[in-house]
Structure 1
Amino acid sequence: MTMAKREITPSDILPPGEYARVRREHRKHVTTVKRLRRLAVGPFTTWHFESYETMWHQVHEMLFIEKGGDEQVPDELRAYNPLIPKGRELVATIMIEIDDPVRRARALARLGGIEETAFLRFAGEEVTGVPEADQDRTSAEGKASAVQFVHFPFTAAQVEAFARPGTEVMAGFRHPEYGHIAVMPEAVRAALTQDFAP
């Protein structure tokens, strides 16, 4: 297993001109990487499991689009470094995706607290999601944000069980309005085991 990077540092940031030159090729590569880190759960949520690579790409895209220069770098690192798995965890950005704005507003109003109910179940184990603590993702009125950031902290034994080839992994929610579960494809499970690399 190769060493997994846990944090983007200022020295990892490419100068704007250099990123502009590699951007097209890198975006193509990251699209391929993300395909093996994505899981649809129920009719309108998609879990995107993050990594150093996906967050490095996100930081560079924000810098490229917003053109804030060196002053912008610390803010982006503060925003995205917490979403890089830190050893014995997986981290998912969960998107609630409904195109129709009326239906979306209605669904989000019913899904308050959904970020507290996400889980991964495998080999007789269950890992309950822990929402990213940066800000509340459910409003005081009980409306869910369309984007949720959830950490899944593992024990050493759970890492070992999850990493075993062929282990069936279920991902789901216990929310009363969205009790959906999906089976994680083996290719996705295998890709995610890299997040546990020492």
Structure 2
Amino acid sequence: MRPIDRNEVLGIGEYEAIRERFRSRIIEEKRPRRVRIGDHLTAVFENRDSVLFQIQEMLRTERITSESGILHEIETYNDLIPGAGQLSLTLFVEIPDRALRDRMLIDLVGLEDAVSIEIDGVAARALGKREGSMEDRTTAVHYLKADLPAEAQAAIKARKAAVSLVVGHPRYAVKAPLGRATLEKLAEDLS
């Protein structure tokens, strides 16, 4: 997928004028991309639209208007766009209860190293950047990418693959099969 270019990013005022329509479209686009993984994890498969939305929302929320600030956000979030033969996902630890969440973030240390995408029984490990990771706990958000073998890509594009998100952590082991709508989006991403 092609990275977001500077000319695609609107100024805050221009964005405000289209925000509700754009936001509604992205929410609908993300719905089939969101996958529940057990009781406490959710993943969202990223694409260009979801990344552009993140950039625009960050600029709006942080009131970033300087060219250097805008370019920094574009560069930062472009890392989420999958490359050729890749799937990109954001993994969220979603626990509303603060005490339980704090305990789970300690229990799930190393979570970022325990995620894979299984395509027809073959696992492609999802990897992320290690910067910002802590030795005694994990974080609530992880940005991961999985490089898929050519045969896995072909099976997904042909819409014939059985695909699951798998977490193989000693304290949280779960396999979440992906539904048809999600697989359709992944096939689009790989095409």
Q: Normalising by structure 2, what TM-score?
A: 0.94
- 1:61-140 paired onto structure 2 within 5 Å: 61-69=57-65, 70-133=67-130, 135-137=131-133, 139-140=134-135
CA drift at 1:12:
1.2
Q: State the one-letter code of the partner of 1:52.
A: R
Alignment correspondent of 1:23: 19
CA drift at 1:75:
1.5
Contact 1:40 1:46 in 2 (8 A): yes
CA distance in 2, matches of 1:124, 1:105: 33
Name the CA shift for 1:124/1:140 in 2 (closer, same or farther; >3 Å): closer
Any runs of at least 4 consecutive aligned residues in structure 1 with deviations exceeding 4 A, and if so which? none
- 1:110-189 paired onto structure 2 within 5 Å: 110-133=107-130, 135-137=131-133, 139-141=134-136, 143-189=137-183
1:192 aligns with 2:189: no
Which whole-Å deviations, capped at 9, do the CAs of 1:84-106 have from their partners, x for residues lacking one? 01121011100000011100011
Residue 36 of structure 1 aligns to a residue in which SS?
helix
Contact 1:119 1:129 in 2 (8 A): yes
Structure 1 residue ranges without an equivalent (≥5): none
CA distance in 1, matches of 2:85, 2:129: 16
CA drift at 1:78:
2.0
- 1:43-62 paired onto structure 2 within 5 Å: 43-62=39-58
Contact 2:4 2:78 in 1 (8 A): yes
Contact 1:44 1:97 in 2 (8 A): yes
Contact 2:159 2:187 in 1 (8 A): no
* Bigger mean CA deviation after superposition, 64-73 or 81-90: 64-73
Which whole-Å deviations, capped at 9, do the CAs of 1:43-63 have from their partners, x for residues lacking one? 110001111100001101111
CA drift at 1:192:
1.2
Residue 116 of structure 2 aligns to a residue in which SS?
strand
Residue 83 of structure 1 aligns to a residue in which SS?
coil
Q: Normalising by structure 1, what TM-score?
A: 0.91
Q: State the one-letter code of the partner of 2:119.
A: F
Q: How many aligned residue pairs are there?
A: 190
Structure 2 residue ranges without an equivalent (≥5): none
